Structure 1
Amino acid sequence: MLPTLLGTNPSDTPDAMSQNPPSPTEELQGATRASMVFERLREDILEGRLAPGEKLRIEALEARYEVGASPIREALNRLISVRLVEQFERRGFRVAALSRDDLIDLVRARRLLNEVVVRESLLHGDQAWEDEVVLAYHRMWRCPMTSPTGQTHREWEVLHRRFHASLIAACPSKWLIDFHELLFDASDRYRRLNVRERDLEHTRTEHREIMEAVVSRDVPLAVQRLNDSIDTLLSHADALCIAPRG
């Protein structure tokens, strides 16, 4: 009887065995795929390959990124948390819309945050941090901003993001740094809409002045330079012809 009882243990049945939780290796692989999709989706949204308001259908994204539905949904939910994706009609997803009111709100939020995060970084930054700021600036400066066709070089965009991240990297608050990153990405979508029409020399001068103010540890001037740069987004708000939300 004992062998029979063991053989009919519910945990030994095929149905029960098929319901076993995934192994740690399988969980890691799933998390890795979701992270990959998150990064690629994020870049496609920031670079405008997925347009504001565009519906994000699971099946289409599966084909686009060559992964299953689970990592797609996980990535979309993460993108909702950083406000690059919106959920609608209960289970649908779309790229977060852009609007003039949203841009004004973003600019105000970034200005207020700079008052704190820039000051904290300048007060706590050591020589190694200062060297990284200068290095990040020179790497960005040496990279062509646009191609002969007028398209922005992807490498320049990466270096531009790293430069701005370096400015506040010495801030001791991880929360403030994370919030800065969220606002930077959200407002960067607006900047990229108008990047081809911006004066290249002005952009270089603007970043040089920011770098110089930061490494000189002049907090009021550094905040002013960064906020002046952010304000240029507002000067182009009407020209961007951003559709209202809804």
Structure 2
Amino acid sequence: MSTKSEDAYNSLRRDILEARLAPSTPLKLHKIQEMYGLGWTPLREALSQLEAEHLVISIPNKGYVVTPISFAELEDLTKTKKILELPLLQEAMEFGDTSWEAGIVAAHYRLSKEASPLDGHIDVENYIGWAQAHNEFHSTLLSASKSAWQQRFHLQVTDHMRRHGRVLCASLSHRQPENYLLAVEASPALREAYCLETHTALMDAVLNREVEKACEMTARQIELIILSYNELRAAGMTEIIPD
């Protein structure tokens, strides 16, 4: 892939994962060219790579669209992420050294300095800052693992799963602020997902090599997105993911 194609790929991929390009959005080639300042060849190469990653799909006679999301997909991603992540975490706790431990503490500190989605005033851009710090924290926890292929598969699943989280936050933040606060109140799982203390407890369990406790807490955190959707749908507050 050429440098221009790689730049096009990175820009489109970022905006899809961060929900700036929402699920099911048609990707009109002329419009995308204008938005990103791309030539035909880099754009087509980028879209082909994104299609291989299941981030866009090609519909005959209609062109490309951002891949839709569904509740069934989220359930599948949740199950797959647990299968991949828990062994990686156990391996990291086995092989992690003091540099790894210091990295975890530093990543947790950076997460603590980001604006929390719990404050009720967060917009999509602020959420992205928190989500990036959150991603870095969890990635650092696994960084001492030795299974390179498992890490690659895990990263792909994690990217798709986090897209669901970004879509949820984007949907809620586009409502009135008081409705966002009501959503946070209506979903204990949403509060738990954003709570710094939850991540502090996980960090402590990992650093203390409490393997069973750390794995239980990680499995719980992986489930929080789908639990949040269930709670908000039961409260009639979101219908953004079809079954």
* TM surpasses 0.5: yes
Match of 2:44 in 1: 73
For residues 1-246 of structure 1, what are the structure 2 equivalents within 5 Å?
31-89=2-60, 92-146=63-117, 149-152=121-124, 153=126, 154-195=128-169, 197=184, 198-199=190-191, 203-238=195-230, 239=233, 240-244=238-242
Please tell me whether the aligned partners of residues 193 and 224 of structure 2 are also in contact (alpha carbons under 8 angstroms). Answer: no
RMSD: 2.3
Cα deviation, residue 193, structure 1? 3.0
- Higher normalized helix content (fraction of residues): 2
Structure 2: distance between partners of 1:106 and 1:68: 34
Cα 1:169/1:81, change in 2 over 3 Å: farther
Cα deviation, residue 102, structure 1? 0.5
Cα 1:90/1:176, change in 2 over 3 Å: farther
Structure 1 range deviating more: 213-222 or 189-198: 189-198
Cα 1:140/1:219, change in 2 over 3 Å: same
Cα deviation, residue 200, structure 1? 7.6
Structure 1: distance between partners of 2:148 and 2:61: 33
Please tell me whether the aligned partners of residues 59 and 69 of structure 1 are also in contact (alpha carbons under 8 angstroms). Answer: no
Deviations 1:181-224 (A, max 9, x none): 11111111122233454338952122112211221222222221
SS in 2 for 1:183: helix
Give the AA of the match of 1:208: T
Match of 1:13 in 2: none
Please tell me whether the aligned partners of residues 22 and 167 of structure 2 are also in contact (alpha carbons under 8 angstroms). Answer: no
Structure 1 range deviating more: 48-57 or 150-159: 150-159
Cα deviation, residue 98, structure 1? 0.7
Residue correspondences, number:
216
Instruction: Calculate the TM-score normalised by the size of structure 2.
Output: 0.80
Cα deviation, residue 32, structure 1? 1.9
Cα 1:226/1:173, change in 2 over 3 Å: same
Give the AA of the match of 1:151: D
Structure 2: runs of 5 or more not aligned: 173-183, 185-189
Cα 1:220/1:200, change in 2 over 3 Å: closer
Cα 1:145/1:71, change in 2 over 3 Å: farther
Please tell me whether the aligned partners of residues 33 and 71 of structure 1 are also in contact (alpha carbons under 8 angstroms). Answer: yes
Cα deviation, residue 148, structure 1? 7.0
Cα deviation, residue 47, structure 1? 2.0
